[in-house]
Structure 1
Amino acid sequence: MPTLRRSSVVSALLGSLLAVPLVTAVPPAHADSRCAHPHKVRVPGAERQVAACLDDLTTAGTVASGHTDRSHWDGLHAAGTRNPSGVPGVQIDGYFPDTSTFNTTHGWNHDSQFVIRLPKRWNGGLVVSGAPGNRRQYANDATISDWVLAKGYAFASTDKGNNGAEFFKDGRRPGDAILEWYHRMTQLTVAAKATVARHYGRSPRRTYAAGISNGGQLVRWALENHPGLYDGGVDSEGTLWPRHGASNALVYLPVALRNYPRYKATGDPAAHKAMIKAGFAPGSEFLWDFNYQIIWDGTQRIYREEIDPAYDGDLEAGIPFCESGTPNCDADYDYHSRPKSVHQAVKRASMSGRIGKPLITVQGTLDALLPITVHGDAYAAMIRSQGAGARHRYYRIEGASHLDLEYDMFPDRMRPLLPCMRTAFEALERWTAPGGGQAPPRSATIPRQTSGDVVNSCSLG
């Protein structure tokens, strides 16, 4: 029977399956008491942990020492992104009890892996994140960890409890694998706050959630369901599973798989119209071929298998790049006609928009994986409908797409999203400062920046 296959490019995008040995570093002679005995700090609930004193917790040091894995974060930032370095401190790697074994990092063959980083010079804050896509715990190292560590924050990240292109095999009911992501985000937040308190001798004064794509989805869920754990969050191009009959990825991706080949071959206006009607932005056409070749097909099949495994019978995640009309072909998937149980599985993973703490969302208008009208615009409307609009800022970034590697492919037509996420984080810091803080600029569509250091700067005002 056909099974899920991935090209080497997709493998790189989703993260390596190769084990990386974890090196326990020797404390430097100048280490203070906190770093001289890193093993004294225990992560509550962890089944396994390995602690190390490092001269540099950023990727500038951890790539060489084996305390990160570059393949986890390939493609998430533009090639010219500048990251800080030289942040000494303690890194704790480990995992929580779990029954699935997709994550082979460090040869542990165990899911629910996490990383916690505790900088020597601490500013009193903590940033918690979950991996984007189906990546693993180091996926946010070059995008979030390096940057917040240099500002003095402790940092924690989870692999979400299942990962890789067969994550749908986890759980007993459709949707269980996604629901585990939410549990693991909460579990890590609670454990990281306690770990920080034990390490520094006091609890964090502020805790933020930050994430990209599926990691942004976790930020939304966290601020809706456990706002007491956080002071605010930054959601970069988060995935939306709406509660009711609105569009979602399983609605528009089949449209793309069915119509794009015809549009590419002949320029068929009807095929183009169908793509635009499904939610893809006019002007994003130059990104469609990359997304068709690399992302859309695999994404549709693995998430459909998680939500609706009965659609293709005994197949696992369908038939790659099948032509419309082929039996069990995902290009012909019709979410709205599927049984009530399928819609119930989506509802279990859905959002309400009822955020309890300040949230800043950024998303690119050219996003061709999570079209902005279906995801960012729809979630902003949900928040307003819940009367929580005052707690939300939403910045639509013209010219940005879903993966910043796409900027490197078309630098004359685009801009990267990451610098806008970083600017949003600084706006969140000011917004949640003691004494009331400074409210960010009003939600807006931000014109594409075409001059200056586009890769490392972004103004939201």
Structure 2
Amino acid sequence: MVLVTVVWTGPGTTATAASAADSTTGHCAREHRVATPGAEHQSTACLPDLTSGALTGTAYTDAADWSSLIARGTENPSGVPGVQVDGYFPDTSHFNTTHGWNHDAQFVIRLPDHWNGGLVVTGAPGVRKQYSLDPVISDWALARGFAYAATDKGNSGADFFTDGTLPGDAIAEWNRRTTQLTVAAKAVVAQHYGRAPHRAYMTGMSNGGYLTRWQLENRPGLYDGGVDWEGTLWRADGPNLFSYLPTAVARQLGRAGDDDMIAAGFAPGTEFLWLYHQDAYWGFTQKTYRAEFDPGYDPACPGASAGGSGARILAPCASDADYDYAGRPAAVHRAVARISLTGNIRKPLITLHGTLDALLPIGTDSDVYARMIAREHRGRLHRYYTVEDGTHIDGLQDRYPQRLRPILPCYRAAFDALTAWVETGTAPAPSHLVRRPATGDVVNTCSLR
């Protein structure tokens, strides 16, 4: 019989418990210790398996938020019993409707019974929510014995840019919420296991990779290292998303050609991916981030996404094809500067980026960030692995199995390399191009050596 104990705590809630046995024994015994510092509301559940395969179809994950992020055939571990904590911190925005809470700053913390003494923290990629990396990072980390914590970053969805008062507020909150969760998760781990984690790692993909970079630059005392999977690069003077997305929007509207795309920074060889990104990413990404930092440019256009249909949300704004970030007022550049990166990492960092990324082109993103780190004389703390035929979304490998390879197995190899670097002093392989193997299971294997 499956034993599940659920306890709801927080203002205006009551505690309930449902179990077929005494929850003071076995792996549920320490559940009562958990009280997330600063949380306005939390629930705890003692579960026989914390991994996504077991949780799919329950309230403890959301497959709709992560299904496109993994390739078909990905092998994930299972059978990790433990305690899951869901909740939210005080916030004034309401984009995240998970659990019917209609409240942002939601988080999940998972505490495996067999703990290795470590903690892995991440933030959602894109504008997704707290469960979006469950089969990507959580399952694998839990199976290795790490406690795991993830945040929705404090705002999510197509209208995230409407959060806050000043330009840049919404993204600045992402960094603040990640720090907040890290501090709280360390306390929860100490409550549950009776001692604080001896290691803490920050990691993430896309916007979660940006969070990893920012945390290791600005909050290094909280972490022992990090793995950055295709993090978004923000620089006040560029390059950033506004360096190349206007060209992509112009092409989408028939006002730019393939040569213009290559000149803007899109890697040759990514052309077969452009139609997909045109339909799913470019228009939406350009207008929402432009609205976040430069709402005065075309305030009417982002409103088309608010409460609109999927087609309207993804559609480009014609004005964005003409967007000239370099020529925008100084206030816009100051807004981007609020959340910009410097390259001054102060803990070990491993970066991965696919050579065929058609959303965050490698030449305008991680190549640049690696040079920034070198200029800050922090290269000894950095390894940079470019993954041949990797793209931004591993799920696209299903469409193009002969042309793409998933980055996930290389990410897992990188995380093992990071922990060995931090915990045993074993230096990772030098930065290099990770070639696609001619044979073998590219969905589940990768060697960084």
TM-score by length of 2: 0.91
CA deviation after TM superposition for structure 1 residue 259, in Å: 2.4
One-letter amino acid of the counterpart of residue 442, structure 1:
P
Q: Distance in 2 between matches of 1:323 and 1:154?
A: 41
The answer as to whether partners of 2:127 and 2:158 remain within 8 angstroms in 1 is yes
- Summarize the alignment of residues 149-228 of structure 1 with structure 2, pairs less than 5 Å apart: 149-228=142-221
Partner of 2:241: 249
Residues 169-193 of structure 1 deviation map (CA, whole Å, 9 limit, x = unaligned): 1010010000000000000000000
Q: Which residue of 2 aligns with 1:409?
A: 399
- Checking the alignment, whether the CA contact within 8 Å between 1:364 and 1:397 is kept in structure 2 is yes
**Contact 2:291–2:299 at 8 Å: present in 1 too?**
no
* Partner amino acid, structure 2, of 1:178: I
What residue in structure 2 maps to residue 313 of structure 1?
299
Provide the aligned C-alpha RMSD in A: 1.9
Does the CA-based 8 Å contact 1:305-1:317 persist in structure 2? no
TM-score w.r.t. the length of structure 1 is 0.89
Residue 386 of structure 2 corresponds to 396
Partner SS for 1:207: strand
Query: Given that residues 149 and 185 in structure 2 are in contact (C-alpha distance below 8 angstroms), is that contact kept between their aligned partners in structure 1?
Result: yes
Task: Call closer, same or farther: CA 1:37–1:197 in 2, change over 3 Å.
Answer: closer
Cα deviation, residue 313, structure 1: 3.2
* Whole-Å separation in 2 of the counterparts to 1:156 and 1:123: 15
Q: CA–CA distance in 1 between the matches of 2:204 and 2:18?
A: 29
**CA distance in structure 1 between the partners assigned to 2:282 and 2:217 by the alignment:** 29
Aligned to 2:413: 423
Q: Which residue of 2 aligns with 1:298?
A: 284
State how 1:275-294 maps to structure 2 within 5 Å: 275-294=261-280
Post-superposition offset of 1:31: 7.6
1:126 and 2:119 aligned: yes
Following TM superposition, by how much is the alpha carbon of 1:273 offset from its aligned partner in structure 2, in angstroms? 1.5
Structure 1, unaligned stretches of length 5 or more?
1-22, 264-269
In the TM superposition, residue 414 of structure 1 has moved relative to its aligned partner by: 1.0
| Correspondence 1:73 to 2:66 | yes
Pick closer, same or farther for the CA change 1:54–1:302 going to 2, 3 Å: same
Alignment match of 1:367 (pick from 337, 342, 357): 357
Question: What is the CA–CA distance in structure 2 between the aligned matches of 1:363 and 1:293, rounded to whole Å?
Answer: 22
Shift in alpha-carbon separation, 1:30–1:161, aligned structure 2, 3 A? closer
Write the distance in 2 (CA, Å) between the matches of 1:166 and 1:414: 31
CA shift in 2, pair 1:451/1:101, >3 Å = same
Identity of aligned pairs, percent?
56
Does residue 91 (structure 1) correspond to residue 77 (structure 2)? The answer is no
Return the alpha-carbon distance in structure 2 between the equivalents of residues 31 and 238 of structure 1: 43
Question: Structure 1 residues 352 and 26 mapped into 2: Cα distance closer, same or farther (>3 Å)?
Answer: farther
Unaligned runs of 5+ in 2: 1-15, 306-311
Deviations 1:287-335 (A, max 9, x none): 00100111111111111110111111344356858789x5xx2122111
Aligned equivalent of 2:227, options 228, 234, 239 = 234
Contact 1:362 1:394 in 2 (8 A): yes
Counterpart contact for 1:112–1:161, Cα < 8 Å: yes
**SS of structure 2 residue aligned to 1:85:** coil
| Residues in 1 aligned to 2:366 and 2:301: alpha-carbon distance in whole angstroms | 33
Structure 1 contact 318–330 (Cα < 8 Å) conserved: no
Match of 1:50 among 31, 43, 46: 43
For residues 334-386 of structure 1, give each alpha carbon's deviation from its aligned partner in whole angstroms, at most 9, with x where no partner exists.
11111111111111110010001000000101000000011110100000000
CA distance in 2, matches of 1:457, 1:99: 43
**Letter paired with 1:38:** E
Letter in 2 for 1:412: Q
Superposed displacement of residue 127, structure 1: 0.2
SS of equivalent residue, structure 1 residue 310: coil
Contact 2:283 2:316 in 1 (8 A): no
Misfit runs of 4+, over 6 Å: 27-31, 321-324
Structure 2 equivalent of residue 333 of structure 1: 323
